[in-house]
Structure 1
């Protein structure tokens, strides 16, 4: 009975069912997997499940793109069969490259980005934009028919001509936005100066310079030269403190050890600090990363805090705390998971508290639980990175990008990120190094 029902489903529906099966297998394996299983096995299982899931979901969209991009041309008599075959091969190559992007995320990581990784992730960015416009124009057409109470156009040639025009427009917009996105992402991050009044901050820390970095995403499309540029820009600012609020890497330490080496040259008078992001856990190598960062003079705040003093002799200090990313518990990392009580242990509520928390949702929860926190620094959203993903990023995050006042005395600052994730494009957002000047109220 079940097999007969499956045979009756369309190809898209079958793929959707398969995607659901893979997704629930991921949840079940996260629940049942023993903590005694070594991290290499966990990493291999995660990579296999992730690649299978993301490509099965993309396959549904790819079938839609394929039919929209090639269907109408088959009915055009003026198009030669050779030209039609070439176009189909081009569309197929584009889809294959888009699907292979996440394969390079796990298996094509080197000191500098490989051209195959750059090409495949560029295709993925274009794929997302093209899919959005194809779907949008289709929805607009259907809504127009409903509003005007018109049935489907009886003249097939006229309908096909209109459909081809919409596809051509979607393709043109995709090419333009792809080019603009590539140019924007290739530029160095902009330095943005923000003054933040910090409640209970001692006058001795007035005008303290804190440089905020996030979402560097060392991996298949972000290499050593990009990190060297970021470090050089940070050092020019002569910061008192540097903080990296998660998503430093997208692969294991063994593959990115030399890529992360420039962090050793990061200059900061009072120290450089790090908290984990969700992608740091996706590497399945987070403990190795925390250990390696310590050798680079970067101090992880693993549900911990540090007392920041202006000098060794000064009795004035504030608490700089950091929490693990929210998704650590989802992936069942032993000893990891957001623990605000532990992170703030020893912090004086009568002194300023600055919290590092990768996700804005963690910032919201932290302030709900401990409203005495003066300032929370987050990343994660990338300010959407590329349109139309910015729409979803805006809707699912309580804080999107920039400075937010929470209550009477607390602030949240969300950086749009220092580089980019995977897709070497930025549309409607800009990579940023944030120079935060702490001010006494």
Structure 2
């Protein structure tokens, strides 16, 4: 215990993070079948929030050290301005940490102002941490070189001033990129049109229109009005098929049931299909999401497939398959995990196979295991704030 007390705050936080991660592993291994579904979901969400915030605390300590301790030391004696700066940074970090809690406790049809501010701070937090770390590494390398070269204390003082300038530069870049991000988020989604030749696609399917959506992240920052706008854009494209390749939501069904209502207005000729992304598993509410989407006329491909044909009596069809997200197994989510063999059961290698996989790594694994897959669609094809229209040709 005495040894633990002598450790630095950063090391203590790192140990706490490891303990939380270990508790997540233990509970998901041994408690999954022993507690009821509601209790299990609440426990998983609490552990996830605790783990994320412990991890973020390490970053927050680093940001505080660089932006407050270093800069205030360089500015001389404490003053009103330094006090205001400390309060500003502390408030910024607090909002960033609270962002994940809004996913569970501050979600409704439309985003709350508090949630939008919190997630803006979270985005700025990530940018600031990245550039402070990069500039810090550059500074440490420069100091190492000056020591080896036997530079004087004057040179070392100059290096310290240069380090302060880098911190200010990192803050400036963070502010600039945050403003760019906010402007981009305020714009309507862009429509990207792509023509793709698909091997073994029946001639009758030529010019099949497929619209790919991914990473909508309905929840704390995206509400019903934004989703309704996306649905209108999709319907204007007159698609034959709509696929949602994961990360549709960040919160449980109970919080977002009414916000998803615009999805009922999707009008593809041959159906709408959904696969899970990692964020669906973070909600610990996947089964309820499957049931809810079914009520909205959306078919979930849970390591399964659907045979798409232009008419009931046609013998020409393509196999549309979907796999669970890779992180389902990592999170030890019972009954879930990428199972390509199960997803492609009944899909003939002589027919065109289109596979939905949320992560590009899953797409790579699928193609290595089954080279006969004609096309794999994943989230990277559809970057955030974009609607992708694919024209499939034989």
The question of a shared fold, defined as TM-score above 0.5 by the shorter chain, is answered with yes
1:435 pairs with 2:389: yes
Deviation track 1:177-203 (CA, whole Å, cap 9, x = no partner) reads 110011112212211111111111111
1:283 pairs with 2:250: no
Deviation track 1:210-251 (CA, whole Å, cap 9, x = no partner) reads 111111111111111110111011001000100111111111
2:258 is paired with a residue whose SS is helix
In the aligned structure 1, how far is the partner of 2:319 from the partner of 2:256? 31
Alignment size in residue pairs? 392
Partner of 1:253: 253
1:219 pairs with 2:186: no
Write out aligned runs for 1:38-117 (5 A). 38-75=36-73, 81-117=79-115
Write out aligned runs for 1:6-405 (5 A). 6-75=4-73, 81-148=79-146, 149-150=148-149, 154-155=153-154, 158-379=158-379, 401=380
Deviation at 1:350, TM superposition (A): 0.9
Deviation at 1:293, TM superposition (A): 0.8
Deviation track 1:114-143 (CA, whole Å, cap 9, x = no partner) reads 111110111111111111221222211222
Deviation at 1:315, TM superposition (A): 2.2
Change (3 A) 1:361 1:77: closer
1:139 is paired with a residue whose SS is helix
Deviation at 1:150, TM superposition (A): 4.4
In the aligned structure 2, how far is the partner of 1:151 from the partner of 1:99? 43
Partner of 1:416: 383
CA contact (8 A) 1:302 1:322 kept: yes
Structure with greater proportional helix content: 2
- TM-score, with structure 1 as normaliser: 0.84
In the aligned structure 1, how far is the partner of 2:74 from the partner of 2:137? 24
CA contact (8 A) 2:45 2:284 kept: no
Change (3 A) 1:135 1:208: same
In the aligned structure 2, how far is the partner of 1:285 from the partner of 1:174? 34
In structure 1, stretches of 5+ residues that fail to align are: 380-400, 402-413, 418-430
- TM-score, with structure 2 as normaliser: 0.94
Partner of 1:384: none
CA contact (8 A) 2:321 2:353 kept: yes
**Which deviates the most, 294-303 or 340-349?**
340-349
Q: Would you identify which runs of 4 or more consecutive aligned residues in structure 1 move more than 6 Å?
A: none
